[in-house]
Amino acid sequence: MKPGDLIAVARLLIEGSNGKPSQAALRRAVSTTYYALFHLLAQTGADLFVGGPGAKRSDQAWRQVYRALEHGKAKNACKNEEMLCKFPKVIEDFGNMFVTMQEKRHLADYDPHATFSKSSVLTDIAATAKVIGDFSKAPIKDRRAFAAYVLFKTSWP
């Protein structure tokens, strides 16, 4: 999945309705926005460890790394401020947005009483799109290190 496509779908869910979007549309937009971050991180790990499009790679190995990303473990890694601050600011911003949007996705998907406003969801979509763009421009070595950090067990204290 392409993160940009997911961001476009999130916007369409809100802006495609005439007038005020339903809570269902707002909830799906929140969830889809989070998944843009999640799939970018999964793709980053797979591309940088196994090989990107056009590389001589095992598709099975690529899918294995892509699917290795776990929501909870990635969130916990991103919440570890002591480690996250060791990365460049664009990576740190990505990690912080990952935590924020995962928490909002949990509300959207699992809390029947949660409500969202069109303006706040559009703000989250725009902020997420910026973080995705900045992350994608970060040096490969930094993105690879971050992917390793969220994918693999850390053996240092």
SS3 content of the chain, % helix, strand, coil (to 5): 75, 0, 25
Q: Which residue has the higher pLDDT, 54 or 43?
A: 43
- 157 inside domain: no
User: Which range of residues forms the domain containing residue 53?
Assistant: 3-151
**pLDDT, mean of residues 60-72:** 94
Cα 111 to Cα 23: distance, rounded to the nearest angstrom? 12
| Phi, psi of 64, deg, nearest 5 | -65, -45
- 100 inside domain: yes
- 39 inside domain: yes
Question: What's the structural domain count of the chain?
Answer: 1
| Mean pLDDT over the full length of the chain | 94
Short-list 26, 32, 20, CA closest to 121: 26
Helix axes 140-151, 23-49, angle to 10 degrees: 110
In this prediction, residue 93 carries a pLDDT of 98
One-letter amino acid at 66 equals Y
Cα 37 to Cα 21: distance, rounded to the nearest angstrom? 23
Q: Would you place residue 112 in the very low, low, confident or very high pLDDT band (cuts 50, 70, 90)?
A: very high
Q: Are 130 and 40 in contact (CB under 8 A)?
A: no
**pLDDT, mean of residues 28-48:** 97
The CATH number of whichever domain residue 103 belongs to comes to 1.20.120
Cα 92 to Cα 98: distance, rounded to the nearest angstrom? 10
**pLDDT, mean of residues 137-153:** 95
**pLDDT, mean of residues 69-88:** 95
In this prediction, residue 16 carries a pLDDT of 77
